[in-house]
């Protein structure tokens, strides 16, 4: 996960945080009997007991809170739901969560701060929470805490008191069928493999972007930048001044339309699949140097990485789905759901994402990590909801606002970036219900209505206007959210796909589409062929065959794999393989080579020292004869002729 901090090393922290008496008390609380008087021994016993508890948390999350009072358990659940356990949490955030709990329960007292300190200290005494450093140089004097190292286990979360409705309840609106993610995703990959995808050109930068640190690496509007620079005549702009972050699609409108026509999916769904494909490295990385030659408007075309797609297709369905889910929930992606929320709102409600020009440590990657943290937050919320029950979104939305309205800030603060009204630029206050629903609430809605529904994790019911009315967690959703690794639930696997046959396109070129039972064959084929331009095509050449023989792959191995696949080797490839195998070790096979002969030994030595001759040499036959690669030969000949030599080429 891009925003994970380094795990706490238990032994030195325990030794630094606890006295001898506290170590004994902690050991007894963990169920261990303190032995001996050695401080080092006590630390080892406590660390061993803590690790045993962590291992039990992997099976039962509630094991983490054993031995705590009900108030302490509730407090810990709130913290673990509001903030990822692998990310430091500020005391100010903890205080805000505690204050909202106290206000809601009617138990907000003058000594609330003292009671909060007691609760934090109780978790520290039980070695669940430790003081740590701020994750970034935020410039504040806040105190931060870090949970004990829980690796990637499921932590206890809040149970939401949401009234659930029966599945037979009649509600006006549109029912959305449960989506099979793998079918849509592989159909999308096939479409990109056939026609590619065009990335939109970035916005033209401001003329001073290279020297303004707050513009470097950020896409921005040149006109808005000019207004910021002129906001304070004869002075540098105020560091707290905001500039908007463009939330634009990565694809051109034409490319989105083409992919829509090929897949039948709407543009937001296509962008969602494209982001996951990029995170899984199934889409080739763009080459900025080729941008000018690709299209007049600066758009850059990308395609699938054939080797990566082939490896993807041979995976079992549960491994594919788990990898895609991990990419969505742990990888840095642009604000997919933020962009969708902005496009759905009325013009007077629309908002922008703003960043302070003085927030030096805030980067595009860190802002993208904020959106990833928000996705993980809603997944933790779903873990506290009942299964197989319809949940009204308006009821859950009310609970989420009362719980933690400023959930969008996990790494930065609201002084670093914020939401603002699109028309006036006025800053939005997330502690006001109507403003929260139009921004953070709308983003959370799209995470459920779009992303989770496209994964098949939830079944959604929409209002006539297309907004989320209610949702229900599916068996696939439970499988994904709980991090299970067993087989997918019944009916969740994608429908069987017709396996394309293996065929010879000519005497040397083979087309071998991947399939679950072809992993060994495709692996052998890749070792003894050159990759073709078209997907899943391979060409046998003399050089590739010799390379395979040098790596220890024999003709018998290759023939056996083709025999198991019931696809015989072509006669041409078979004869060439046998011939090269007989000569292997005595005769080396090269393609596109040239022999260059010079008139005398002195000339050869002079040219070897004063020209690029030796860069082209494969083998030196004699003091005056060289075997050269043909690539770049014309340039070498011109170079030799400039020296006054007329080499003879055979």
Residue 262 has a CB neighbour count (10 Å cut-off) of 16
| Per-residue pLDDT tens digits for 214-265 | 998 899 999 999 999 988 887 788 899 999 999 999 999 889 888 887 888 8
What the block records as the tokens of 94 is 């903890």
pLDDT digits (tens, 9 = 90+) for 399-427: 999 999 999 999 888 999 999 999 888 99
* In a domain? residue 442: no
What is the per-residue pLDDT across 50-80, written as a single tens digit (0 to 9) for each? 999 999 998 899 999 999 999 999 999 999 9
Q: Is the pLDDT of residue 643 over 90?
A: no
Instruction: Check residue 445 and give its pLDDT.
Output: 96
Q: Give, as one character, the DSSP assignment of residue 251.
A: B
Residue 395 lies in a domain: no
Single out the residue of 121, 126, 143 nearest to residue 134, CA to CA. Answer: 143
Q: How many domains does the chain have?
A: 3
Three-state secondary structure of 116-169: HHHHHHHHHHCCCEEEECCCCCCCCCCCEEEECCCCCCCCCCCCCCCCEECCCC
User: For residue 258, what are the CA distances in angstroms to 182, 198, 255?
Assistant: 20, 10, 5
**pLDDT for residue 650:** 54
Indicate whether 421 belongs to any domain: no
For the segment 347-358, the average pLDDT, to the nearest whole number, is: 88
What is the model's pLDDT at position 291? 44
Q: φ and ψ at 583, to 5 degrees?
A: -90, -10
For residue 573, the enclosing domain spans 503-583
Do 620 and 562 lie in one domain? The reply is no
Q: Which pLDDT tens digit goes with each residue over 288-302?
A: 555 434 444 557 889
CB 645, CB 607: distance < 8 Å: yes
Distance of CA 131 to the CA centre of its chain: 29
Q: Are residues 518 and 558 in the same domain?
A: yes
Per the domain annotation, does 204 fall within a domain? Answer: no
Where is average pLDDT lowest: 438-442, 448-452, 469-473, 623-627?
623-627
Q: Quick check: is 525 in a domain?
A: yes
Alpha helices for 252-353 (secondary structure H):
253-263, 267-279, 291-294, 306-313, 317-330, 336-344
Average pLDDT over all residues of the chain? 85
Q: Are residues 521 and 639 in the same domain?
A: no
Q: Which of these three, 583, 605, 633, is where a domain ends?
A: 583
| Residues 531 and 642 reside in one and the same domain | no
Q: Are residues 509 and 619 in the same domain?
A: no
Residue 632, domain member (yes or no): yes
- What average pLDDT does this structure show over 532-549? 86
| 572 shares its domain with 603 | no
Residue of higher predicted confidence among 162 and 339: 339
Tokens (6 digits) for 325:
């889910």
Beta bridge partners of 418: 354
Domain C-terminal end among 147, 176, 209 = 147
Residue 516 contacts residue 314 (beta carbons within 8 Å): yes
Tokens 């659940």 belong to which residue?
77
Cβ atoms 636, 612 nearer than 8 A: yes
Q: Which residue has the higher pLDDT, 635 or 392?
A: 392
Give the lowest-confidence range in 181-185, 220-224, 644-648: 644-648
**What's the CA gap between 598 and 613, in Å, rounded?**
12
- What does the pLDDT read at residue 109? 53
Residue 204 is predicted with a pLDDT of 93
The answer on 557 and 635 residing in a single domain is no
- What pLDDT, on the 0 to 100 scale, is given for residue 170? 47
Q: Which regions of 143-218 does DSSP assign to beta strands (E)?
A: 144-147, 164-165, 174-175, 197-199
Mean pLDDT throughout 189-195? 87
Domain-terminating residue out of 96, 118, 147: 147
Looking at residue 174, its pLDDT comes to 53
517 inside domain: yes
Region 354-372: mean pLDDT is: 92
Residues 530 and 620 occupy one common structural domain: no
Q: Tell me the per-residue pLDDT of 550-578, one tens digit each, with 9 for 90 and over.
A: 888 889 989 998 888 888 899 999 999 99
Mean pLDDT of 111-135: 88
């Amino acid at each position: 996960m891009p925003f994970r901090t380094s795990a706490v090393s238990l032994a030195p922290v325990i030794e630094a945080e606890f006295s001898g008496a506290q170590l004994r008390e902690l050991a007894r609380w963990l169920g261990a009997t303190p032995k001996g008087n050695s401080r080092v021994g006590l630390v080892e016993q406590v660390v061993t007991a803590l690790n045993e508890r962590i291992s039990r948390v992997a099976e039962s999350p509630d094991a983490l809170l054993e031995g705590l009072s009900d108030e302490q358990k509730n407090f810990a659940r709130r913290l673990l739901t509001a903030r990822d356990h692998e990310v430091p949490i500020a005391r100010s955030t903890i205080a805000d969560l505690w204050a909202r709990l106290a206000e809601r329960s009617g138990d907000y007292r003058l000594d609330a701060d003292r009671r909060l300190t007691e609760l934090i200290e109780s978790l520290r005494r039980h070695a669940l929470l430790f003081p740590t450093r701020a994750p970034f140089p935020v410039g504040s004097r806040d105190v931060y805490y870090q949970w004990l190292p829980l690796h990637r286990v499921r932590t206890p979360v809040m149970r939401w008191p949401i009234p659930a409705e029966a599945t037979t309840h009649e509600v006006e609106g549109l029912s959305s069928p449960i989506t099979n993610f793998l079918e849509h995703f592989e159909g999308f990959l096939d479409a990109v493999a056939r026609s590619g995808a065009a990335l939109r050109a970035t916005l033209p930068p401001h003329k001073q972007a290279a020297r303004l640190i707050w513009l470097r690496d950020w896409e921005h509007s040149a006109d808005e930048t000019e207004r910021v620079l002129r906001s304070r005549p004869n002075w540098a702009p105020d560091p707290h001044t905001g500039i908007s972050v463009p939330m634009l699609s990565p694809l051109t409108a034409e490319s989105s339309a083409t992919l829509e026509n090929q897949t039948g999916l709407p543009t937001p769904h296509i962008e969602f699949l494209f982001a996951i494909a990029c995170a899984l490295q199934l889409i080739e990385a763009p080459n900025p140097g080729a941008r000018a030659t690709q299209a007049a408007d600066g758009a850059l075309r990308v395609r699938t990485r054939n080797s990566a797609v082939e490896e993807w297709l041979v995976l079992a369905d549960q491994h594919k789905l788990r990898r895609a889910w991990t990419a969505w929930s742990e990888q840095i992606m642009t604000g997919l759901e933020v962009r969708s929320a902005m496009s759905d709102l009325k013009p007077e409600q629309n908002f922008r994402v703003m960043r302070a020009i003085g927030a030096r440590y805030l980067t595009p990657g860190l802002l993208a990590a904020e959106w990833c943290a928000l996705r993980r937050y809603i997944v933790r919320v779903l873990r506290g909801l009942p299964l197989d029950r319809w949940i009204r979104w308006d009821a859950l939305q009310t609970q989420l606002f009362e719980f933690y309205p400023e959930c969008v800030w996990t790494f930065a603060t609201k002084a670093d970036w914020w939401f603002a009204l699109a028309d006036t630029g006025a800053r939005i206050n997330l502690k006001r219900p109507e403003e929260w629903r139009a921004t953070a609430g709308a983003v959370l809605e799209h995470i459920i209505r779009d992303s989770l529904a496209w994964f098949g994790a939830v079944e959604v019911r929409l209002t006539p206007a297309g907004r989320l009315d209610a949702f229900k967690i599916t068996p696939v959703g439970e499988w994904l959210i709980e991090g299970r690794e067993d087989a997918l639930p019944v009916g969740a696997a994608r429908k069987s796909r017709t396996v394309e046959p293996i065929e010879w396109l000519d005497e040397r070129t083979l087309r071998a589409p991947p399939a679950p039972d072809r992993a060994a064959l495709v692996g052998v084929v890749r070792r003894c062929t050159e990759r073709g331009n078209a997907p899943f095509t391979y060409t046998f050449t003399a050089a590739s065959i010799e390379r395979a023989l040098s790596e220890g792959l024999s003709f018998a191995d290759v023939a056996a794999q083709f025999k198991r696949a019931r696809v015989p080797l072509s006669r041409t490839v078979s004869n060439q393989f046998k011939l090269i195998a007989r000569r292997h070790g005595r005769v080396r096979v090269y393609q596109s080579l040239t022999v260059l002969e010079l008139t005398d030994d002195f000339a050869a030595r002079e040219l070897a020292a004063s020209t690029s001759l030796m860069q082209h040499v494969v083998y030196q036959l004699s003091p005056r004869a060289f075997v050269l690669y043909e690539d770049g030969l014309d340039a070498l000949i011109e170079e030799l002729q400039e020296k006054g030599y007329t080499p003879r080429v055979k």
